[in-house]
Amino acid sequence: MIAGYPTRGEAAPAAGDNRYRETFDATIRETLGQAVRIIAAEPALAIPGAAILRHQKRAAAARKRHEQEGLLVPPVMIVSVTARCNLACAGCYMHGRGGNHRAEMEPEVLASVVDEATGLGVSIVVLAGGEPLVRMEEIFCLVRAHPQVLFAVFTNGLLIDGAVADLLAGCRNVVPVISFEGSREHTDRRRGDGVYDRLLSATACLKDRNVFFGCSLTTTRENFADVTDEAFVRQMLLAGVRVFTYVEYVPMAPGTEDLVLAPEQRTELQAVLASHNRQFPALFIGFPGDEDAYGGCLAAGRGFVHVSPSGDLEPCPAAPYSDVNLAAVPLREALRSRLLNRLRETPEALTESEGGCALWANRAWVEALIGREEAPAGMPGGHAAAGGPEKGIVAVTAEHDDAMGE
């Protein structure tokens, strides 16, 4: 089994077959186990691996009990804690979502959501944004309150200095994941002049304090060769990176469809990650990965859910649709929402697409479920195609001011 993927040749369950959950749980166990083995080879990188693995075992058992009672709890919850950011990167999904004018979850709501999620059996909490470290104090309160839970913080890295690295070194259950686009050329083109060198300064702060951290690589047709190249991987390893997360680009910005990975690149990516996992002392994970192996997309609570900055419970960061808000409804109840149930019950909406995301490719049908549009032909209840979102992405790479957009 490859970290992030079931082994090729394993029978892939159909989208309506619940066996995929056992497959995904096994993938999580193997991935966490591989992380522990990496750390064992570098003891200075100590994270509470044994405690996290014990929590994963207990969480998996809790999810199974809830499933028998008719409640589907995903192993992973992605929480976008803010839409604010100190960058305005070309192609950022948060800009493509729209609705960023809504108020963020209050600290007590955010804490309550994470408390309930971990109590229900969520194994891994991903904190994202925007730039999640603009809510730094709240994030550290969360990770300290749940020392047995693994938190992955996807950050642009620009707020990480010596002081922040000291805080991260004191919270070993949090793994910072810093965004690169590959080489200096690709990173600065999308994120702004000088960003690449600033990120290397951030990684140096983390490496000096033996923090276990990773990098996030938005993988496009344009930078595919760069981010998968062994020379780039070796450079990142020297910088201290021990987790490589390859996130396939989703064209939420109109006119960026040509950046989506070609079918042959998606196939090659899986082979490259398998090879890198065998060759290098690091984790190589693909997202969304080989969805066929899980019987379709893992969104909508099948494997993960997304919480928006305002508290909306959504199928996925790339599917900004919701019929329930966690400031008003407990997570246990929200996981039974009509929208999530309908998505899980409709296998044809969860099959892999050439657009990097099945739900985004079928967004007209998803919008019809919540009454925004008329469902398109070929989908349940549909007979006419609908258009895309009202707002796209402004291709800007200049850095905002230090006020984080406030």
Q: Say what the alpha-carbon torsion angle 168, 169, 174, 175 is, to the nearest 10 degrees.
A: 90
pLDDT band at 39 (very low <50, low <70, confident <90, very high): confident
Domain contains 260? yes
Burial class (CB in 10 A: 0-12, 13-18, 19+), 343: buried
Which H or E run includes 67? helix 49-68
Domain contains 321? no
Domain contains 284? yes
State pLDDT tens for residues 168-207: 999 999 999 999 999 999 899 888 899 999 999 999 999 9
Per the structure, the complete domain to which residue 299 belongs is given by: 20-313
pLDDT band at 361 (very low <50, low <70, confident <90, very high): confident
The tokens describing 87, both together, are 């960058």
401: nearest Cα among 87, 57, 11, 156: 87
pLDDT band at 255 (very low <50, low <70, confident <90, very high): confident
Domain contains 288? yes
What is the mean predicted confidence (pLDDT) over 10-21? 56
Coil, helix or strand for 46? Answer: coil
Coil, helix or strand for 285? Answer: strand
User: Which residues lie below 8 Å from residue 320, measured CB to CB, with a gap of 6+?
Assistant: 97, 98, 99, 308, 312, 314
Domain contains 258? yes
Q: Considering only residues 36 and 307, tell me which one the structure prediction assigns the higher pLDDT.
A: 307
Cα separations in angstroms, 134 against 73, 82, 160, 338, 375: 29, 8, 11, 33, 38
Computed on alpha carbons and rounded to an integer, the radius of gyration of the chain in Å comes to: 20
Considering its fold, how many domains does the chain have in total? 1
Residue 117's pLDDT is what? 97
Residue 208 belongs to domain with CATH number: 3.20.20.70
Alpha carbon distance 138, 158 (integer Å): 18
The tokens describing 290, both together, are 């080989």
Which range among 1-10, 112-121, 179-188 shows the weakest confidence by mean pLDDT?
1-10
Domain contains 70? yes
Domain contains 402? no
User: Which residues lie below 8 Å from residue 334, measured CB to CB, with a gap of 6+?
Assistant: 313, 324, 326
Domain contains 395? no
Q: What is the DSSP letter of 12?
A: P
Q: What is the pTM of this model?
A: 0.84
